[in-house]
A and B are shown apart, each in its own frame.
Chain A
Amino acid sequence: DQQVKQNSPSLSVQEGRISILNCDYTNSMFDYFLWYKKYPAEGPTFLISISSIKDKNEDGRFTVFLNKSAKHLSLHIVPSQPGDSAVYFCAASEANAGNMLTFGGGTRLMVKP
């Protein structure tokens, strides 16, 4: 039972354009959501997070949107840069579960110059 899903295994975007990565979840107890970026042979690097009391959080080029009714979140990267090419994971946690993270399967983003 996959509680967090990233249905697009890969995404290709032109440099300067917007990248939109999507994530769906099924567990309504999740109340905190995070996006991580991962390069090969490295651990995941935290990008941005959002709690369930908000519907948007912005940090520089990165914006995360949360739609609780649809159990859907998305990460927008504007403008996309070649250095953004990596695998992106969304993750979810619930306060009463020790904040352990449940990850999606990842989306490989390729930003073409």
Chain B
Amino acid sequence: DTGVSQDPRHKITKRGQNVTFRCDPISEHNRLYWYRQTLGQGPEFLTYFQNEAQLEKSRLLSDRFSAERPKGSFSTLEIQRTEQGDSAMYLCASSPPKAGGLYNEQFFGPGTRLTVL
């Protein structure tokens, strides 16, 4: 399977703990995106990378959140001092380089469901 993979699929943690999620994009996709989805809502953009450069961060991404993509391949999303409001599905997506000025769709992974107790 060469789709986007995310690990872990589920994470339960206590308030105040730190958690880290990993995303492996489709190979040769140079753009990687993180989204958060809460119950009954559509996904909300958090941040994105082009290769290893983090080019955009949403205001939803507070100082407790940090994302990296050190070698332009996999990415990690860390949440420090988790709060109950951080409980959500965290989705990763990747997209290939633009060709001929055309837009490319984003391919999503299965997500990591975080529950903060």
Contacts and interface: CB of A to CB of B under 8 A. Distances in A.
B103 A45 contact: no
Given A43-B110, A44-B91, A89-B43, A99 B103 contact: yes
A93 B103 contact: yes
A34 B95 CA distance: 14
Contacts, number: 65
A91 B44 CA distance: 10
B108 to A, nearest CB: 4
Nearest to B46: A100
Given A100-B56, A101-B45, A44 B108 contact: yes
Contacts of B93: 43
A81 interface: no
B110 A99 contact: no
Nearest to B3: A43
A79 B6 CA distance: 34
B56 A103 contact: no
A70 interface: no
Contacts of B110: 41-43
Interface string A71-105: 00000000000000000010101010111111111
Interface of A: 4, 6, 32, 34, 36, 41-46, 49, 51, 89, 91, 93, 95, 97-106
Given A43-B109, A106-B40, 8 more contacts: A42-B111, A43-B91, A43-B93, A43-B111, A95-B103, A98-B50, A98-B56, A99-B104
